[in-house]
Amino acid sequence: MNLSQYFKSIIDEDKCAVVICNLEHEIIYMNPAAADRYAKSGGARLVGQSLLDCHGGRSQEMIRKVAAWFADSADHNRIYTFHNEKENRDVYMVALRDEDGTLIGYYEKHEYRNAEESGLYQFD
């Protein structure tokens, strides 16, 4: 198994939506949680489409600004973009970089603030 398979497995098992985009804002991958979350908008069929097409004008502008900010410095790697009060969820954009620090894309990461409800080491 190569290293990329491990990383894919990590993302696929995340309960939170993860949408990965290249520098052209094209959706190149959605984990199963993201495909489910955006099912009404096309779900996994959104892969290959522009992330910008999924957002209004103000959001498109901010996505472009964040991508430019990521490109400005290898130290610019994560930015808080939204809090959904109803779902108690924060949304971040995170830079993706290659081995030498060059920006290659970004991803949108959802994180829920709710405490885990399952019991510790609950195997059933």
Number of domains into which the chain is organized: 1
Give the per-residue pLDDT at 108: 93
For residue 3, being part of any structural domain is answered with: no
- Flag whether 118 is in a domain: no
Q: What is the pLDDT of residue 83?
A: 95
Encode pLDDT of 63-111 as tens digits.
999 999 999 999 999 999 999 999 999 999 999 999 999 999 999 998 9
pLDDT at 3 (0 to 100): 87
47 lies in some domain:
yes
Are the C-beta atoms of 113 and 88 separated by less than 8 Å? yes
Q: Is the pLDDT of residue 1 over 80?
A: no
Q: The domain that contains 40 carries what CATH number?
A: 3.30.450.20
Kindly report the backbone phi and psi dihedral angles of residue 15, in degrees, each rounded to the nearest multiple of 5, phi listed first.
-75, -15
The whole-angstrom separation of Cα 99 and Cα 111 is 26
Q: Is residue 70 part of a domain?
A: yes
Cβ-based neighbours of 53, under 8 Å, separated by 6 or more? none
Longest dimension (CA), the chain: 48
